[in-house]
Structure 1
Amino acid sequence: MSSLNLIELAGVPVLVRPPINTDKPAPLIILWHGFGPPDSEKVLAETLPLESVEAWKAYLGLPLFGQRLPEGGTDELMRRQIDDYVLKLLLPIIEQATHELPDVVKALQERFSIDPNKGIGLFGFSAGGFTALLALLESKIPITAAVLAGITKDLHTAVNSYERIVQETYSFLKEQYPWVEDKYKKYSWSEKSEAAKQRLDFIVRAEEITKRNPLPATLFVHGMQDEIYEVSNTEKLYAALLSKYEQLNQSERLSMQIFRHLAHHIKPAATDISPEQRQDIATLQETVANWFSKYLIV
C-alpha cells in the first residue's frame, strides 16, 4: 500500500496518499469520514485506499473530531449532540468542513503535483456525505466527480433517525449521562434549525446540483442493511436527481449501487464480518475506484 503523509493544511488534519506515478500532475480527490466507522481520516484511508486511482487522495479530518476534539472530549460532543443535534453538532461540523474546503484544496495544489485542470473528486460518508452534498450545492470549487455513501435525502430524515436512536438507547444514555432528560427524546425544532432543514433539503435543491459546471458525475452507494438511513430515502434523492440529469441527456453521469449485505458502518478490519459482507466491501472499494477512474481521470 502506498505511503500516507499526515500533515496539517489550513488548520485541517489531512492524510495524503499519492498516485502511483508522481512524475506528472494528477487530479485530486477529497474524502470525508463520518461520525461512526469509518470515523477518522486514518480509518477512512484504510477502508477506502483507492490505490488503483491515479489521483492524489486527501482524507480530511472533520471539525470537532480527532485532533480537533473540543475541550471535554467525547463527553462534550455527546453534550452538544443531546442538547441540539442540528445546531450544536451536525450543522457546525458540515458548515465548517465546507468552508475549509477551498483553502485546503489550494494548499494541496501548492504543495503537491496536482493537475488544476482536472477538477476535484469528492467522497463523503454519512456526515461526511452531508458535507459533500453541501459542497455540491454551495461551494465554488470545480467538482468533476462525487461519491456519496450512506447518506439520506434531507435533514428532516436525519433528525428522525437521530430521535429513534436516542429513544432506543435512552436507558443507556441516562445511565452514562445523568443530566439527560425525557425532553431530549424528541428534537426541538427552532427557527434556526427550521431554516437549516430547508437549506439541507437535497431533493428540493436537486436542480442546483445539475446547474454546476462541470456537471458532477455522482454515484450513490448504500447498504441494504443500513440501520441509520433507510435505502429507500436515498433512492428518492437519486430519483429526483435522475430526472434532472435525464433532462440534460446526462443520465450516464448518475448512478446508484446498493450492497445487499452492508449496514451503515463499514469495518473491513473487523474479524466478525461475514464472507458476504467482506465481498460487498471489496466490491464497494472497486466500485468507488472505478467511478473516479472513469469520470475524474480523463
Structure 2
Amino acid sequence: MTESIRGVAAGVPFIAVPPSGGGPAPLVVVWHLLDAPRTEVAMAAALPLTGVPAWRVYLGLPFTGARMPPGGLDEIMALVRDDTLLNLHGAAITQAAAELPAVLEALRKQLPASALVDEPLTLIGGSAGGAVALLTFAELERPVRALVAINAAIRATSVVALVERSFGIEYEWSEESRRLAGRLDFVARAGEFPEVPVLIVSGEHDHDDFRADAVALREALPGARLVVVAGLAHPLALEPGLEAAAQTPEAREVDAVVGSFSRSLMGSGSER
C-alpha cells in the first residue's frame, strides 16, 4: 500500500493519505481549524477518516503552520485587532478557496495515478476550514460529491462578534468588510449550493452563535443532515494543536460520524 505523502502543492502544504484498501479512489479534501487542530498535520490525526475509500488530502490554511507570517503569533494578534475579517479570517478563507484549482493541478502531478483528482470531490472543513469548504462549495466550477461542515464559521458576522467578545474590542465595519461578510454568509447563499449531500456537525458546547448558525443552515438546506456531538466544544484537538496527537473522545465521535457519512456516498454517483 502507498504510504502517506507529505509535500507542497502550488505553495500549499499538504498530507495525502491513501485508502487502506488501495486501488483507484477519489479525493476527500480537508481544511483544518484556526483553533486546535490548526495545521494539516494535526487535522490528519484528529480526523483520520480511516476506512473511507478515498485519498484524504489535508491542506494547510494561510497564516498557519509553515505559512505563519514572519512576526508569528504577535503578528497574528495584531492582524486580528486591526481588522480580523479583512486581515485574517476572511483573507485566510478566500485565499484558501482561490488556491484549490492550482493545488489540484499540482496534486495531479505529485500523487500516484490511483488518486483520481478529476473525480467529484468531497469537501470537509472545521471552523474557518469549514468556511473554506462552504465557499468552495458555492463557487468551485467542478463536480462536488458532498460537503461536511464541522463547527463551521457559517456566517462571518458571528466570527466578528466572537472576536469582539474575546478581545474586548468593537469592530469597525467598512463597505469592503460588509461585502466580504455577505460573501461569507452561507445561510444567505444556501440557494447557490449544488444539490448534493450535506452534513453539518455541531458541537454541543460550540460557541452559541455558531450553533445557531448551524441550525439556520440546516433550515436553509432542507436535504442537509445536522448532527450535534455531545460534549464537543469548538476545537477538535487539545492545545497547542500544531502536531499529530491522540484523538480526543469528542474528535473520535466526529470522525465516526463523518467517516460513516463519507463511506455511504462513495460510489453513489451523487454530484453537482
TM-score by shorter chain over 0.5: yes
Aligned to 2:16: 16
Q: How many residues align?
A: 260
| Alignment pair present for 1:288 and 2:272 | no
Deviation at 1:152, TM superposition (A): 4.1
Q: Offset at 1:297?
A: 4.0
Q: Could you say which residue in structure 1 is the equivalent of 2:189?
A: 205
Shift of 1:108: 1.9
Take 2:239 and 2:162, find their aligned partners in 1: how far apart are those partners? 26
Say which is worse superposed, 157-166 or 42-51, in terms of deviation: 157-166
Per-residue CA deviations over 1:91-125 (Å, capped at 9, x if unaligned) read: 11111111110111222233322225641011100
State percent identity of aligned pairs.
34
TM-score by length of 1: 0.82
- Give the deviation of 1:191 after TM superposition: 1.0
Question: What's the counterpart of residue 248 of structure 1?
Answer: none
In our comparison, the structure showing a higher alpha carbon Rg is 1
SS in 2 for 1:102: helix
Question: Which stretch has the larger CA shift, 151-160 or 96-105?
Answer: 151-160
Q: Per chain length, whose mean CA-contact separation is higher, i.e. which structure has more relative contact order (CA < 8 Å, sep 6+)?
A: 2
More helix by share: 1
Tell me, in whole angstroms, the C-alpha distance in 1 between the residues paired with 2:248 and 2:84: 32
Measure how far apart 1:3 and its partner are: 4.2
What is the distance in 1 between the residues matched to 2:13 and 2:27? 16
The alpha carbon displacement at 1:233 in A equals 2.2
Q: Secondary structure at the match of 2:115?
A: coil
Letter in 2 for 1:86: L
Moved over 4 A (4+): none
- Could you tell me how far 1:31 is from its partner in structure 2? 0.5
Aligned residue for 1:189? 173
Q: Is the partner of 1:196 in helix, strand or coil?
A: helix
Q: Deviations over 1:145-196 (max 9, x none)?
A: 11100124411122111211112xxxxxxxxxxxxxxxxx100001100111
What letter corresponds to residue 204 of structure 1 in structure 2? A
Q: Once the 2 structures are TM-superposed, how far is the Cα of residue 269 of structure 1 from its aligned partner?
A: 9.3
The DSSP-based 3-state class of the residue aligned with 1:58 is strand
Structure 2 CA distance for aligned equivalents of residues 203 and 157 of structure 1: 12
Give the aligned CA root-mean-square deviation in angstroms.
2.1
After TM superposition, the structure 1 = structure 2 runs for residues 19-168 of structure 1, keeping only pairs within 5 Å, are: 19-22=19-22, 24-110=23-109, 111-112=111-112, 113-116=114-117, 118-167=119-168
The gaps in structure 1 that reach 5 residues or longer are 168-184, 243-250, 271-276
Partner of 2:196: 216
Structure 1's 117 and 69: CA in aligned 2 closer, same or farther, altered over 3 A?
closer
Q: Evaluate the alpha carbon distance shift between residue 80 and residue 18 of structure 1 in structure 2; reply closer, same or farther with a 3 A threshold.
A: same
